[in-house]
């Protein structure tokens, strides 16, 4: 009665093929010289990569993306760390509120978020629509769920509340307790959230396109613009960009694996597993979604 | 006593930046969008005309319908594929399982513009496979048009599958080998095991995954934008062109559609929650 493994092999074989063909195809296309009517390219070349790495526009787009990411992720760490710490340790009755605010962006797609942002910032006192500053704000909100999840769970793992109580009993000030006891213990958790957020923002297109578009060309906008020109060159961009994302998420996996000893598969899974935990444990409504 | 109070005020002050950001970039825009959806095109008159316009216009109703259909279709297909594939994955050795999950994880990062581009060079008008098959003579792709419903579905399913697998795979770990043994000792067949034990245990996870995938594709914008531009009538593409295009700016109408999209997504989440509750109660 043992079901044959062949069946499962076929299923997995088909699945892996479906998932990998676009990737492998794009990679081959990026190193192909002439490739018209054959199964594999007729000749190989690196000239597309060389051309790409000589393109000023690519570097500019890359720099702009980095600027946005550094600003919004930096702001997020600087603001979220004390916020979550203070609320967890001193105002625990507000935790539900913080959680609702932090998880809300997950239920609101960028396309909807952008509608309101354009409305608020296109006129009035703060006129920042069309500038990178509005993107930094939008990105801050986009990565909120990840930051919240990461920092909150590292605080929970180390029992921050008790640690701070102990430190204060021994005569440390609140700031000392945070700086010397809590912070060193959660730094790796913060690093993981940070890297996940960076990877997420690298792939962000909807906000960038709707809020600033061509006025501040990010790597994704550049990519979208190149779609209809040289396919080979665009393949080279896609592969370069994708390698970077893989590198980032790979680092995250390694870090999480080493630190928490339990596997976190990807940023999306991380956040979704949080939702599932909610459903399974107490069926509590996620307030933000209501 | 006084000192403690003072300290609390300092602590509260540290929360200010967060509160400002949440109001400025999350709640503020959301409220502004809802409010804006109740104004006429001139932005002065208060009215529900925008919603009436949507529900009277065949064009916009079609956009909503297309989005719903594509989301339902891609979510259902991906969940079915993922349920089967994840089960197949559990049949291999631990080492191979890990490797397969790594592939799923890797490809789940491949989405949006880069993904659409990939499909364009493979299956687009001058795509590799398109040319290859027309050369060989097999007219497999003769009727196939990547820049249409079928193309969109194909790409949507691609980015949903890895996600679905990663969400469903862990729940197979919850099905104990002993249950199967107990069931067969009691005279149950493989089929009856899955019907009465396996699938009910998996169901919460399947339904949860489904609604997440549904919401995921309802809100998808980058993939569709790269693939069909504005040639296909989708809710997310319509909203984008109403609020940020160079041609027909109608922010109030866009806001109303944004409210509808957000309501659909929250509805999906709500439905998911209700299902979960029902299923959990049955289990107890």
CA distance B139 to chain A (A): 15
Residues B118, A53, A57, A247: what is their CA dihedral angle, to the nearest 10 degrees?
A: 60
| Alpha-carbon gap, residue A184 to A181, rounded angstroms | 6
Size of interface A-B (CB pairs under 8 A): 263
Q: What is the pLDDT of residue A290?
A: 28
DSSP conformational letter for A4: P
Tell me the ipTM for this assembly: 0.85
- 10 Å CB burial of residue B52 (0-12, 13-18, 19+) is exposed
Taking the CB of residue B76, how many other CB atoms lie within 10 A of it?
14
CA distance B56 to chain A (A): 22
What is residue B188's three-state secondary structure? coil
DSSP-assigned beta bridge partners for residue B46: B39
CA distance A157 to chain B (A): 22
Cα A199 from chain centre: 4
Q: What is the pLDDT of residue A265?
A: 46
pTM (global) more than 0.90: no
Token pair of A64 as six digits? 């702009």
The rounded percent of chain B whose pLDDT value lies above 90 is 42
Residues of A in contact with B204 (CB under 8 A): 279-280
Q: CB-CB: which of A116, A205, A289 is closest to B29?
A: A116
Residues of A in contact with B91 (CB under 8 A): 5, 8
A70 touches chain B (CB under 8 A): no
- Contact (CB<8Å) A25/B166: no
A108 touches chain B (CB under 8 A): yes
- Contact (CB<8Å) B109/A246: yes
Q: Determine the average pLDDT of the residues in B50-72.
A: 93
Q: CB-CB: which of A12, A26, A83 is closest to B88?
A: A12
Lowest mean pLDDT among A140-144, A284-288, B52-56: A284-288
Sequence length of chain A is: 290
DSSP-assigned beta bridge partners for residue A44: A32
Closest-CA residue in chain A for B31? A116
| Alpha-carbon gap, residue A263 to A277, rounded angstroms | 15
Q: CB-CB: which of B84, B103, B258 is closest to A11?
A: B84
Average pLDDT, chain A: 83
B196 touches chain A (CB under 8 A): no
| Alpha-carbon gap, residue B116 to B146, rounded angstroms | 10
Closest-CA residue in chain B for A87? B15
Q: CB-CB: which of B26, B103, B221 is closest to A16?
A: B103
Closest-CA residue in chain B for A266? B105
Residues of B in contact with A234 (CB under 8 A): 117, 121
Q: Is the pLDDT of residue A280 over 60?
A: no
Residues of A in contact with B168 (CB under 8 A): none
- Contact (CB<8Å) B276/A283: yes
Q: CB-CB: which of A39, A86, A113 is closest to B14?
A: A86
- Cβ partners under 8 Å of residue B163, min gap 6: A268, A269, B78, B108, B212, B213, B216
Please calculate the CA angle B167-B169-B175 and round it to the nearest 5 degrees.
125
Q: What is the pLDDT of residue A286?
A: 34
Q: Determine the average pLDDT of the residues in A36-61.
A: 84
Lowest mean pLDDT among B30-39, B69-78, B118-127, B148-157: B118-127
B277 touches chain A (CB under 8 A): yes
Token pair of A274 as six digits? 């949080």
pLDDT tens track for A124-146: 777 787 889 999 999 999 999 99
Q: Is the pLDDT of residue A283 over 50?
A: no
Lowest mean pLDDT among A167-181, B134-148, B178-192, B212-226: B134-148
> Alpha helix (H) ranges present in chain A?
5-30, 47-52, 56-90, 95-107, 110-121, 132-142, 144-157, 160-169, 174-176, 183-202, 206-207, 219-226, 231-260, 267-281
pLDDT tens track for A239-279: 998 999 899 888 888 887 766 554 444 455 555 555 444 44
Q: CB-CB: which of B21, B121, B243 is closest to A79?
A: B21
């Amino acid at each position: 009665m043992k079901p044959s493994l062949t069946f499962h092999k076929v299923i997995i074989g088909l699945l892996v093929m479906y998932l990998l063909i676009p990737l492998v195809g794009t990679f081959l296309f990026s190193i192909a010289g002439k490739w018209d009517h054959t199964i594999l390219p007729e000749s190989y070349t690196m000239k597309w990569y060389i051309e790409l790495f000589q393109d000023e526009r690519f570097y500019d787009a890359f720099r702009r993306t980095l600027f946005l990411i550094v600003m919004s992720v930096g702001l997020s760490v600087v603001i979220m760390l004390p916020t979550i710490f203070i609320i967890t340790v001193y105002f625990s009755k507000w935790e539900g509120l913080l959680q609702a605010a932090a998880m809300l962006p997950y239920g609101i797609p960028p396309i909807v978020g952008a509608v309101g942002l354009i409305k608020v910032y296109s006129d009035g006192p703060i006129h920042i629509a069309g500038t990178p500053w509005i993107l930094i704000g939008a990105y801050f909100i986009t990565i909120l769920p990840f930051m919240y999840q990461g920092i909150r769970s590292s605080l929970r793992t180390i029992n921050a509340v008790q640690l701070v109580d102990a430190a204060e009993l021994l005569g440390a000030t609140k700031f000392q307790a945070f700086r010397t006891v809590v912070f060193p213990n959660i730094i790796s958790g913060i690093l993981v959230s940070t890297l996940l957020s960076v990877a997420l923002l690298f792939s962000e297109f909807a906000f960038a396109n709707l809020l600033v578009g061509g006025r501040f060309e990010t790597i994704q906008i550049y990519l979208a613009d190149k779609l209809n020109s040289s396919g080979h060159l665009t393949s080279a961009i896609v592969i370069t960009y994708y390698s970077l994302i893989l590198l980032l998420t790979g680092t995250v996996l390694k870090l999480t694996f080493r630190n928490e000893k339990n596997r976190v598969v990807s940023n999306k899974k991380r956040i979704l597993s949080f939702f599932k935990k909610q459903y399974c444990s107490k069926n509590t409504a996620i307030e933000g979604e209501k | 006593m006084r000192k403690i109070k003072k300290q609390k005020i300092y602590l509260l002050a540290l929360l200010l930046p967060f509160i400002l950001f949440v109001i400025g970039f999350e709640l503020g825009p959301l409220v502004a969008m809802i409010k804006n959806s109740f104004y006429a095109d001139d932005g002065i008159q208060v009215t529900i005309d925008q919603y009436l316009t949507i529900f009277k216009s065949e064009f916009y109703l079609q956009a909503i319908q297309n989005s719903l259909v594509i989301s339902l279709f891609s979510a259902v297909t991906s969940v079915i594929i993922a349920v089967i594939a994840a089960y197949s994955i559990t049949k291999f050795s631990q080492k191979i399982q890990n490797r397969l999950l790594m592939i799923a994880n890797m490809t789940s990062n491949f989405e949006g513009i880069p993904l659409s581009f990939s499909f364009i060079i493979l299956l687009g008008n001058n795509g590799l496979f398109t040319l290859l098959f027309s050369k060989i003579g097999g007219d497999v792709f003769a009727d196939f048009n990547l820049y249409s419903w079928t193309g969109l579905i194909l790409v949507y399913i691609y980015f949903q599958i890895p996600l679905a697998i990663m969400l469903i795979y862990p729940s197979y770990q919850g099905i104990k080998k002993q249950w199967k043994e107990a069931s067969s000792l009691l005279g149950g067949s493989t089929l009856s095991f899955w019907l009465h034990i396996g699938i009910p245990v998996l169901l919460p996870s399947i339904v949860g995954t489904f609604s997440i995938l549904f919401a995921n594709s309802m809100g998808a914008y980058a993939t569709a934008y790269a693939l069909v531009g504005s040639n296909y009538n989708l809710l997310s593409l319509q909203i984008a062109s109403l609020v940020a295009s160079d041609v027909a700016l109608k922010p109030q109408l866009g806001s109303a559609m944004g409210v509808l999209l957000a309501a659909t997504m929250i509805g999906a989440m709500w439905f998911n929650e209700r299902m979960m509750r029902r299923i959990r109660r049955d289990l107890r």
